[in-house]
Amino acid sequence: NQHQKIEDRCFGLGGILRFYFFGYFTAGIYGGTQRTYYISSDSENSYISLGYGGPFVGFSIKHKKLRYTAAFFVGRGSVKNLHIESQNGNTLTDAYLYYEKTPVISPIISVDFQLSKRLVLTSQIVYHTAIFHDDKLYNPTFQMGLLFNR
């Protein structure tokens, strides 16, 4: 935002629905939310969050119990930023709330380990890029989770 540069760890929650076809291709939908709390001049409660969702396409190859995937995501998103300049206890005395809708793009690199026929452990690296206040917002993220197969 225009008040300060925000650089800190983020935490999030999301999901992915993947389909594999023709042996080497994948497509599906992907979405989630990431939130970063940061310290501003007189508060520890400022935050910025990125919500996103949409389709992805890519390539995938399976070798024994491992699956490697490289994909590209293009979707819609929104950025919400509560920047607190000053607060007195629980009362905000000087704060700014920003909300913008934005396109979001990201490469997705993932490695999956098949635990059983129906359960897969996944880890992925994504690099969300969005526009916020006419400036680029970058959100590199490492994600881990479980996938359930049919």
Residues of the chain short of pLDDT 70, as ranges, are 1-8
**Distance separating alpha carbons of residues 121 and 114, to the nearest angstrom:** 6
**Distance separating alpha carbons of residues 107 and 125, to the nearest angstrom:** 8
At residue 57, what is the residue type? Answer: V
pLDDT at position 2: 61
pLDDT at position 43: 80
**Distance separating alpha carbons of residues 81 and 47, to the nearest angstrom:** 6
pLDDT at position 52: 96
Q: How many CB atoms lie within 10 A of CB 50?
A: 24
Cβ neighbours of residue 115 closer than 8 Å, sequence gap 6 or more: 121
pTM of the model: 0.85
For tokens 């006419």, the residue is 134
pLDDT at position 50: 92
Q: How many CB atoms lie within 10 A of CB 48?
A: 22
pLDDT at position 44: 79
pLDDT at position 113: 97
* CA distances to 36, 54, 66, 149 from 70, in Å: 26, 16, 14, 19
